[in-house]
Amino acid sequence: MNVLAELKSRFRPALASLVSDAAKVSELLELIRVAQDPKFGDYQANFAMPLGKVLGKSPRDVATQIVTAARLDDLVAPPEIAGPGFINLRLRDEWVAAALRMAATDERLGIDAAKNPRTYVVDYSSPNVAKPMHVGHIRSTVIGDSLARTLRFLGHKVISDNHLGDWGTQFGMIIYGYKHWVDQAQFQTNPVAELSRLYKLVSKLVEYRESLKSLPEAERRLAAKHKEVDEQKTLSKSADKAVSKKANDAVRRCLKQAEELAEEIASLKGKIAAVEQDVSLSKLVQEHASIDEAVLAETAKLHADDAENHRLWHEFLPHCRDEIQKVYSRLDVKFDYEHGESFYHDRLAAVVEDMKKKGLAQESQGAICVFLEGFEAPMIVQKKDGAFLYSTTDLATIAYRMETWQPHAILYVVDHRQSDHFDKLFAAARKWGYDSVELQHIKFGTVMGKDGKPYKTRSGDTVGLEGLLDEAVSQALKVVSENDDANPSGPALSSEERRNISEVVGLGGLKYADLSHNRTTDYEFDAEKMLAKTGNTATYMQYSYARVRSIFARGGIALSVLRDTLLILTHPAERPLSLMLLRFAEALAETEADYMPHHLTAYLFDLTKSYFTFYEYCPVLKADTEGSRTTRLILSDLTARTIKQGLSLLGIGVVEKM
């Protein structure tokens, strides 16, 4: 039961009798909200003011008229009209009790399945395999998994598809590495480790070459920036205030750009030094002077169906998949499909042909381009040398998904830095005829370190995903052990239990930290903070869940009988918790509306806080009357079940004790 939606449906006819435009009615209904202060009731309808303006009547009169016309009696107490025309709505206790009973006896906690289910394809995780997964991959994996779970729970059909990068340059790298430097004995015993070693080795050498090539240009740009700073500084001394202000702004902007360039140069120099300061690497790079081009050539041969490279690719791919599968199993993430880029390989030529035939793509400076209104640069679908691109594959993927699943929406859970790619892709797809499907780039920010920069290891490397998971789990083990050691009746957990609990708490904490931020912003990785026992963390909720379960264990309570009993709300602290429990549906609807899981985490945080306040004032097992005890047990049970269900939609588990 979604209370807000119910209220809207009760008010709709009354508003529709005054306003003929249905869209306007819906807009006005959006002005029904949860009341910020319980003084003003539980919900508040604020549409009388704008409506009064439109109708040329006093908002208070309009409010009275609507309240009289709407059928509200069973749901709310007689509404109070306040101030200029606010309508304050207080749910009837009987109605709240009945709704809670419905939730308590329902597997789905009273959450209705969508009346018009949609079909969603969710494209997430999608790492480039052959290189180890790193911290950047956690976000796509965790956010995508949570959205898939949530939409599915809401009754939609969800097809999860891991669009693996299994066809790119990284394979050219390991093929090159394998051909020159494989240690066969190692490859036989531990292929994943050996391939990863080869990848790292080749990418170091390639990066060396590329850095050498781009360093002069970067230095030239930095020098030009410094010059620009000097010029603007001179201008800033101008007597003309406007000129001087503009120049000062420019100085600030240029200094920032210069700083970024300097960082870029430092990183290029770092890559060069890493090879030059290593005797064996510098020897290798001399022997393989054009390794960067050679790697591209190996990739091109793979794409051109060269027998040897194809055989190697087939041999490597299963190992690469095993490697990422380890991470997925640990994170409890599953996909319906894993159609990687290679899956679309033989469809790409036809995509380009079709776009050319339809006059959507044309040649420009040797490349085949799609020119799109509103974009400076075109989208290239085939390079001069005949190679297809990431974009071409994504177009083929849209065509395939539309033919195969006829989805209403395709969600791409990908780093915000790919915004330009997706903007163009969607525009091109619409021109190509896919104009009724909802295409959404579900973008997210970067995981930052405590220094406010993208999270890196001390030596400046990207942090491997497995290492990150281990760090969270070992931090959790500390928290769980401390907690158990402080148990007044002595430690109660075996070391194996502690380890298992730590896995759930550690990984849960990590996922939660990611999901609880508005996904479009960057967030800081802080293992300690993300496992804090109080605050907006999964740990706080897992802890509350375990606490409720312990009440039931202590009381030896039969849940099935209990759940079907009518609640009697007596204490004032029971009501806020009851209302909060009923708002689960609203939180899910919010997440569904803008694909932002943080609405759900914010709700779970509010719910957990409400429960603690309730628990402070309302003894449960020792309640005064039998009726009160039962009511409180049901409220506790519902809280635990809602936390468990909510966390599970975030891909996070609970434990019975911790």
Q: Which is nearer to ligand ARG, 398 or 650 (CB)?
A: 398
| Closer Cβ to ligand ARG, 101 or 519, answer by number | 519
Q: In what order do the strands lie in the sheet with 438-444?
A: 157-161, 119-123, 409-415, 438-444
Strand order in the sheet with 379-382: 361-364, 367-370, 379-382
Cα–Cα distance list, 325 to 93, 127, 407 (Å): 50, 11, 27
CB of 412 to ligand ARG, least distance (A): 5
Instruction: Give yes or no for a contact between 135 and 525, defined as CB atoms under 8 angstroms apart.
Output: yes
Interface residues toward ligand ARG, by CB under 6 A: 123, 126-128, 163, 165, 394, 397, 412, 414
Nearest to 360 by CA among 290, 435, 259: 435
How big is the chain by its Cα radius of gyration, in Å?
30
Report the distance separating Cα 226 and Cα 253, nearest Å: 12
Of residues 137 and 271, the one with the C-beta less far from ligand ARG? 137
Minimum CB–partner distance for residue 346 and ligand ARG (Å): 18
* Residue 34, beta-bridge partner list: 43
**Which residue is associated with the tokens 């027998």?**
307
Nearer to ligand ARG among residue 161 and residue 637 (C-beta): 161
Nearest CA among 473, 501, 456 for reference residue 655: 501
- Nearest distance, CB of residue 314 and ligand ARG, angstroms: 20
Q: Name the residue nearer to ligand ARG (CB basis): 160 or 639.
A: 160
CA distance 354 to 361: 9
Rounded distance between C-alpha atoms, residue 118 and residue 440, angstroms: 15
Measured distance CA(642)–CA(658) in Å, rounded: 19
Q: How far is the CB of 613 from ligand ARG (least distance, A)?
A: 43
Q: Which residue number, 128 or 639, has a Cβ lying nearer to ligand ARG?
A: 128
**Rounded Cα distance, 598 and 361, in Å:** 40
Q: How far apart, in whole angstroms, are the C-alpha atoms of residue 594 and residue 519?
A: 11
CA proximity to 378, closest of 434, 424, 439, 426: 424
126 versus 382: smaller Cβ distance to ligand ARG: 126
As measured in angstroms, the least distance from the Cβ of 243 to ligand ARG is 44
Q: Which is nearer to ligand ARG, 99 or 414 (CB)?
A: 414
Q: Strands (DSSP E) along 518-580, which ranges?
A: 523-524
What is the closest distance, in whole angstroms, from the C-beta atom of residue 416 to ligand ARG in the complex? 12
Distance CA 571, CA 376 (A): 64
For residue 339, the minimal CB distance to ligand ARG (Å) is 10
Nearby residues of 579 by Cβ (< 8 Å), 6 or more positions away: 42, 91, 96
Q: Which is nearer to ligand ARG, 2 or 128 (CB)?
A: 128
Least distance (Å) between residue 394 CB and ligand ARG: 5
Please state the closest distance from residue 481 (CB atom) to ligand ARG, in A. Answer: 37
Distances from the Cα of 655 to the Cα of 153, 241, 257, 272, 274, angstroms = 21, 65, 49, 49, 46
Q: Which residues pair with 362 in a beta bridge?
A: 369
Q: Which residues pair with 119 in a beta bridge?
A: 157
Nearest approach in angstroms of CB 127 to ligand ARG is 6
Nearer to ligand ARG, 168 or 646 (CB): 168
Longest dimension (CA), the chain: 88
Which position has the token pair 């802890």? 543
In the complex with ligand ARG, the residue whose CB is nearer, 76 or 164, is 164
Sign of CA dihedral 595, 596, 600, 606: negative
Q: Pick between residue 207 and residue 394 the one whose CB is nearest to ligand ARG.
A: 394
> Contact 126/162 with Cβ under 8 angstroms?
yes
Q: How far is the CB of 168 from ligand ARG (least distance, A)?
A: 8
Closest approach of ligand ARG to the CB of residue 499, in Å: 32
